[in-house]
Amino acid sequence: MTPSTHPPAHSPFLQGLNPKQLEAVTLPPEPALILAGAGSGKTRVLTTRIAWLIATGQTSPLGVLAVTFTNKAAREMMGRLSAMLPINLKGMWVGTFHGLCNRLLRAHHKDAALPATFQILDSQDQLAAIKRLMKSVGENPENDAQKPKELQRFINGFKERGMRPQAITSADSYNQKFIELYQLYEDQCQREGVVDFGELLLRSVELLSRNTALRDHYRSRFQHVLVDEFQDTNPLQYLWLKALSTPETGLFAVGDDDQSIYAFRGADVANMRRFEREFAVQHLIKLEQNYRSHGHILEAANQLIANNQGRMGKNLWTDAGVGDPIRVMEAPSDLMESSFIVEDIRALIQEGYSRDEIAILYRSNAQSRVIEQSLFNAGIAYKVYGGLRFFERAEIKHALAYLRLMENPHEDTAFLRVVNFPMRGIGARSIEMLADEAKRQGSSLYTASGLLDGKAGTAIRGFVQTIESLRFETQGLTLPRLVETMLERSQLIAHYEKDREGRERIENLRELITAAAAFMVELGQPADFPATAQADADTMSPLAAFLSHASLEAGDNQAGEGERAVQLMTVHAAKGLEFKAVYVTGLEEGLFPHQQSADDPDGLEEERRLMYVAITRARERLSISLAQTRMLHGQTRYNMRSRFLDELPEGCLKWLSPKRSHRSVVGEAWDTPRMGGYSAGGGHPPAHLGNAGFGTVGVARPPALASAKGHESGFAVGQRVGHARFGEGVVTGFEGAGPDAKIQVSFRQAGSKWLALSVVKLEAL
Partner DNA sequence: TAATTAGCAATTTTT
Partner DNA sequence: TTGCTAATTA
Q: Which residues bind DNA (CB under 7 A)?
A: 69-72, 96-99, 122-123, 131, 144-146, 197, 261-262, 264-265, 363-366, 369, 386, 420, 423, 425, 427-428, 552-554, 557, 569-570, 572-573, 594, 596-597, 603, 607, 631, 633-634
Q: Which of 43, 58, 190, 558 is catalytic?
A: 43
Of the pair 17, 645, the CB lying nearest DNA is at 645
Q: Which of 139, 228, 257, 299 is catalytic?
A: 228
Q: Which of 42, 49, 286, 608 is catalytic?
A: 42
Of the pair 427, 714, the CB lying nearest DNA is at 427
Compute how many other C-beta atoms are within 10 angstroms of the C-beta atom of residue 633: 7
Task: Judge whether 242 counts as a catalytic residue.
Answer: no
Which residue, among 93, 575, 33, 17, has the nearest Cα to 254 in the 3D structure?
33
3-class DSSP state of 758: coil
Cβ-based neighbours of 509, under 8 Å, separated by 6 or more:
395, 396, 399, 487, 492, 493, 496
Is there a contact between 323 and 299 (Cβ–Cβ < 8 Å)? no
Compute how many other C-beta atoms are within 10 angstroms of the C-beta atom of residue 143: 11
Categorise residue 491: left if φ over 0, alpha if ψ from -120 to 50, beta otherwise. Answer: left
What minimum distance in Å lies between the beta carbon of 683 and DNA? Answer: 28
For the stretch 560-589, what's the b/e string if a residue is b when 16 or more beta carbons lie within 10 angstroms of its beta carbon?
A: eeeeebbbbbbbbbbbbebbebbbbbbbbb
In whole angstroms, give the CA distance from residue 198 to residue 117. 18
Measuring CA to CA, how many Å separate 199 from each of 100, 212, 214, 363, 544?
Answer: 13, 20, 19, 30, 18
Task: Judge whether 259 counts as a catalytic residue.
Answer: yes
Task: Judge whether 617 counts as a catalytic residue.
Answer: yes
Of the pair 267, 482, the CB lying nearest DNA is at 267
Task: Judge whether 499 counts as a catalytic residue.
Answer: no
3-class DSSP state of 345: helix
Q: Which of 68, 237, 259, 525 is catalytic?
A: 259
In whole angstroms, give the CA distance from residue 634 to residue 715. 24
Q: Is the dihedral of CA 74, 80, 84, 85 positive or negative?
A: positive
Which residue, among 67, 11, 3, has the nearest Cα to 29 in the 3D structure?
3
N residues, the chain: 765
Is there a contact between 587 and 626 (Cβ–Cβ < 8 Å)? yes
What minimum distance in Å lies between the beta carbon of 30 and DNA? Answer: 29
Which residue, among 230, 360, 336, has the nearest Cα to 696 in the 3D structure?
336
Q: Which of 327, 383, 617, 637 is catalytic?
A: 617
Q: Is the dihedral of CA 602, 608, 611, 617 positive or negative?
A: negative
Compute how many other C-beta atoms are within 10 angstroms of the C-beta atom of residue 321: 9
Of the pair 32, 604, the CB lying nearest DNA is at 604
Task: Judge whether 229 counts as a catalytic residue.
Answer: yes
What minimum distance in Å lies between the beta carbon of 5 and DNA? Answer: 38
Of the pair 19, 454, the CB lying nearest DNA is at 454
Of the pair 188, 364, the CB lying nearest DNA is at 364
Of the pair 70, 532, the CB lying nearest DNA is at 70
Task: Judge whether 228 counts as a catalytic residue.
Answer: yes
- Counting Cβ atoms within 10 Å, is residue 620 exposed (0-12), middle (13-18) or buried (19+)? middle
Q: Which of 160, 192, 229, 605 is catalytic?
A: 229
Cβ-based neighbours of 209, under 8 Å, separated by 6 or more:
215, 243
Of the pair 48, 570, the CB lying nearest DNA is at 570
What minimum distance in Å lies between the beta carbon of 366 and DNA? Answer: 6
The catalytic residue positions are 42-43, 228-229, 259, 617
